[in-house]
DNA sequence: ATTAGCACTCTCGATATGAGAGTGCTAAAA
DNA sequence: TTTTAGCACTCTCATATCGAGAGTGCTAAT
């Protein structure tokens, strides 16, 4: 294990590098962090730390920068808990004081605040409906042959889907079918609504067999989809171009295309996050080589203990971990609170 | 007016510059575009064209590049109509063959195709509900004190809004209120639902006066909002970094922040577009100085002659205007068609 | 065990240089 | 009168050179 002095030096390097993005030299540390030992001694320690894998040197005779392992050590053992400033707190509160329209908007706003406060890119996966309960089902006729299937869940999420209806179906037929669906589906969780279960509806109403066939098919497909895939929002990807890490346009381009690939980002967030805790994934710890130079910090939000969605911050490995963690902590608390009173 | 030879030269310069992003010299034109006149003659003509404001010189003794006026002339008089390739046609058809879930998804997909095919950034304002008719209103109880107001329009768009309900309201109260709302609102256009009109509902049901008060307020607010503001989608902003215009990170950063500002982009699209035609706005023709170096091509989509939304492509003034116009034309046709059968 | 001293390494910014592309002008050719 | 060849000139851009500066590792002294 590292001795006390090595730890102090490692901490100084990580902190300084996060702040300046410049490789940190022995002289800087001695002067700026008042270690009480000479640069030469620090140099020796730094050589040790490099050998142990905590530091790296961009090129011979430059200062040192933290390696992924260095950041990991910092994150696990050294990172301070920072208090948010009054300004930051106000900004968070402001969002959650506004009256909400839809769940989705609240979540989108949340993503925006996180990005504003951290200056990194924020990504959020909206409500996943796994454990939600059906509140209401409605089938409406829009025009000849076209209808709209509407499903409402107890989280206030509304799914809808344009469907084809047999032209001879009357309004009262539709009402009967709607009622039947409601009888079968209301208060069931999305997970409980299996194709098998739905087969029973068909036997209830043989007369509409054909209409029900497609209807049920569409409904199941739609629910299946919403189980896993909440909508994805990303905010503040342009902010990243402020960091020296992206002064090279090629790198900026790669990062932005990555963010635009929603499916990929969903997989990343899902893989990275663990329920009810903040997880930090640093550089090469990510199993995707495209993310080798990024760190991802994720957490989830929930209501009544049920996991609803995931959000995360992505930035260069030289990330202000402690600030991001504080902000995520605070925002999650507010969001969970808002959700539980909202619903 | 320009004589024939000047026009030929101007065209050559615009075409070449759009393709290469390099200032075009007299020699290049003589060789590549086989004018049958010598570079010296071309030089004289180019000097004239510059004096007339159609060309500009990035610096003394570089080649010429088109000015905004030059592009404008090209767009108005010289631009060829290009046929789409089979590949491009297929890509467009593929999108519109898929079964649609919601109107919004179709629109989002459309935006994505446009960006894919043009390689520029595509922006789209989703359905504005001005002239849509209310199909159905539903008020559901989600939990104690919380409810959900759902409004369905004849375009299959579903608005929803979480609301507070008096705790003592029973389910049958809600049904009565829902029915009342439906009686008053169904088949009305969004524009027709004014606060005055809604006052009459209250007089119908004095017993629920307080509940109705907030309910009506929320409903009107929600409709008001949806009249103007469809959701905004942007696709392919990262693509822009491929253009040499953005090799400077600072410029890339500015562009991306611009795109992220949805409100601004909505204003731009609305100001730029004219109903039922493709409009092209070049560089300084845009009244916003932030857009001085960009061109915007917009058009709108509609169903049954009613304007539903706007979409546009934004890119550097050195834009492949004819290609973008062809693609927008084709996509609008397909989209309008899809919308009319969808609804 | 620590540190001063020093030679050495590497980057980075400034400066110089030359090739290349292109122009405008003049004078000759058509 | 119009076109063109020729040429001197301008400006950019890529490359090379150079020195300052920052930082290191090693050695020897403390």
| C-beta of residue A103 within 8 angstroms of C-beta of residue A230 | no
pLDDT higher than 80, residue A114: yes
B173, B197, B228 - which closes a domain: B228
Q: Is B256 on the interface with A (CB under 8 A)?
A: yes
Residues 43-72 of B with CB under 7 A from strand C: 43, 46-47, 50, 57, 61-64
| CA distances from residue A219 to A160, A224, B82 in whole angstroms, order as listed | 9, 9, 43
Same domain, B124 and B141: no
End-to-end CA gap in chain A = 49
Look-up of token digits 């080589």: A289
CB spacing of B160 vs A136 below 8 angstroms? no
Same domain, A224 and A234: no
Structure confidence at residue B291 (pLDDT): 97
| Integer Cα distance of B326 and B297 in angstroms | 11
CATH of the domain at A118: 3.30.450.40
pLDDT digits (tens, 9 = 90+) for B125-172: 988 888 888 999 999 988 888 889 999 998 888 998 888 888 888 888
Residues 6+ apart with CB under 8 A from A96: A334, A335, A337, A338
| C-beta of residue A175 within 8 angstroms of C-beta of residue A208 | no
Same domain, B114 and B146: no
Q: pLDDT-based confidence at A197, cuts 50/70/90?
A: confident
Which DSSP string do the residues of A256-318 spell out, in sequence order? Answer: HHHHH-HHHHHHHHHHH--TTS-EEEEGGGSS-GGGTTEEEEEEEEEETTEEEEEEEEEEESS
Helices (H) and strands (E) in chain B, counts: 12, 10
> Which of B276, B318, B315 shows the shortest CA–CA distance to B297?
B315
* Over residues B28-56, mean pLDDT: 94
Cβ burial of A172 (10 Å; 0-12, 13-18, 19+) is exposed
Structure confidence at residue B152 (pLDDT): 92
Same domain, B241 and B300: yes
Same domain, A102 and A143: no
Structure confidence at residue A213 (pLDDT): 84
Task: Say which nucleotide is closest to residue B46, CA to C1' distance.
Answer: C23
Same domain, A284 and A206: no
Q: pLDDT-based confidence at A23, cuts 50/70/90?
A: very high
| C-beta of residue B302 within 8 angstroms of C-beta of residue B343 | no
**How many Cβ atoms are within 10 Å of A130's Cβ, its own excluded?**
14
The C-alpha of A160 sits at a distance from chain B's nearest C-alpha, in angstroms, of 7
Same domain, B242 and B181: no
Structure confidence at residue A100 (pLDDT): 78
Q: pLDDT-based confidence at B224, cuts 50/70/90?
A: confident
* Over residues A302-317, mean pLDDT: 92
pLDDT digits (tens, 9 = 90+) for B43-94: 999 999 999 999 999 988 899 999 999 999 999 999 999 999 999 999 999 9
Structure confidence at residue B315 (pLDDT): 97
Mutate to test the interface with B, among A156, A221, A247 (most CBs of B within 10 A): A156
The residue range of the domain holding B11 is 4-78
| C-beta of residue A115 within 8 angstroms of C-beta of residue A237 | no
Q: Half-sphere exposure of residue A80, counting CA atoms within 13 Å on the CB side?
A: 7
The C-alpha of A249 sits at a distance from chain B's nearest C-alpha, in angstroms, of 6
Q: Across chain B, what does the average pLDDT equal?
A: 92
Same domain, B240 and B123: yes
Same domain, A94 and A175: no
| C-beta of residue A159 within 8 angstroms of C-beta of residue A222 | yes
CATH of the domain at B59: 1.10.10.10
| Integer Cα distance of A171 and A174 in angstroms | 5
Count of domains forming chain B: 3
Q: pLDDT-based confidence at A155, cuts 50/70/90?
A: confident
Give B142's contacts in chain A (Cβ within 8 Å). 135, 154, 156, 343
Give pairs for B77-85: CB < 8 Å, separation 24+.
B77/B7, B78/B7, B78/B10, B78/B11, B78/B14, B79/B321, B79/B322, B79/B325, B80/B322, B81/B322, B81/B326, B82/B322, B82/B323, B82/B326, B83/B326, B84/B326, B84/B327, B84/B330
A228, A254, A273 - which closes a domain: A228
Same domain, A99 and A244: yes
pLDDT digits (tens, 9 = 90+) for B318-328: 999 999 999 99
pLDDT higher than 90, residue A41: yes
Structure confidence at residue A254 (pLDDT): 93
CB spacing of A160 vs B342 below 8 angstroms? no
Residue B23, token pair as written in the block: 């200032």
| C-beta of residue A231 within 8 angstroms of C-beta of residue A309 | no
pLDDT digits (tens, 9 = 90+) for A121-130: 999 998 888 8
* Over residues B106-135, mean pLDDT: 93
* Over residues B20-40, mean pLDDT: 93
pLDDT digits (tens, 9 = 90+) for A201-238: 888 777 777 778 888 888 988 888 887 778 899 999 99
Same domain, A243 and A326: yes
Same domain, A20 and A50: yes
Residue B325, token pair as written in the block: 């116009």
Residue A166, token pair as written in the block: 């047999």
pLDDT digits (tens, 9 = 90+) for A95-113: 999 877 788 889 999 999 9
DSSP code, position A24: B
Structure confidence at residue B264 (pLDDT): 95
| Integer Cα distance of B255 and B73 in angstroms | 26
Phi then psi dihedrals of residue B141, to 5 deg: -95, 125
| CA distances from residue A70 to A316, B54, B110 in whole angstroms, order as listed | 14, 58, 46
């Amino acid at each position: 294990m590292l001795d006390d002095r090595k730890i102090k030096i490692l901490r100084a390097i990580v902190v300084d590098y996060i702040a300046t993005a410049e490789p940190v030299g022995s002289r800087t540390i001695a002067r700026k962090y008042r270690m009480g030992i000479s640069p030469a001694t620090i140099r020796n320690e730094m050589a040790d730390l490099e050998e142990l894998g905590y530091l790296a040197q961009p090129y011979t005779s430059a200062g040192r920068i933290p390696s992924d392992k260095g950041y990991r050590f910092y994150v696990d053992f050294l990172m301070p808990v920072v208090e948010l400033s009054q300004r930051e707190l106000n900004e968070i509160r402001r969002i959650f004081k506004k009256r909400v329209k839809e769940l989705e908007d609240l979540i989108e706003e949340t993503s925006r605040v996180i990005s504003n406060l951290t200056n990194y890119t924020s990504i959020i996966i909206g409500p996943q409906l796994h454990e939600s309960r059906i509140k209401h089902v409605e089938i409406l006729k829009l025009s000849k042959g076209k209808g709209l299937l509407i499903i409402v869940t107890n989280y206030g999420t509304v799914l809808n889907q344009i469907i084809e209806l047999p032209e001879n179906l009357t309004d009262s037929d539709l009402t009967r079918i709607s009622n039947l669906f409601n009888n079968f589906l209301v208060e069931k969780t999305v997970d409980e609504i299996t194709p098998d279960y739905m087969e029973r509806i068909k036997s209830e109403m043989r007369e509409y067999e054909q209409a029900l066939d497609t209807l049920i098919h569409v409904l199941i497909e739609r629910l299946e989809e919403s189980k896993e895939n909440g909508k994805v929002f990303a905010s503040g990807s342009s902010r990243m171009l402020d960091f020296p890490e992206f002064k090279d346009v090629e790198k900026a381009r790669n990062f932005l295309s990555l963010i635009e690939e929603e499916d990929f980002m969903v997989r990343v967030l899902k893989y990275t996050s663990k329920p009810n805790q903040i997880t930090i994934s640093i550089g090469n710890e990510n199993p995707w080589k495209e993310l080798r130079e990024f760190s991802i910090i994720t957490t989830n939000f929930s209501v009544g203990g049920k996991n609803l969605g995931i959000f995360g911050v992505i930035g260069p490995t030289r990330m202000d971990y402690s600030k991001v963690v504080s902000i995520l902590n605070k925002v999650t608390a507010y969001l969970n609170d808002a959700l539980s009173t909202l619903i």
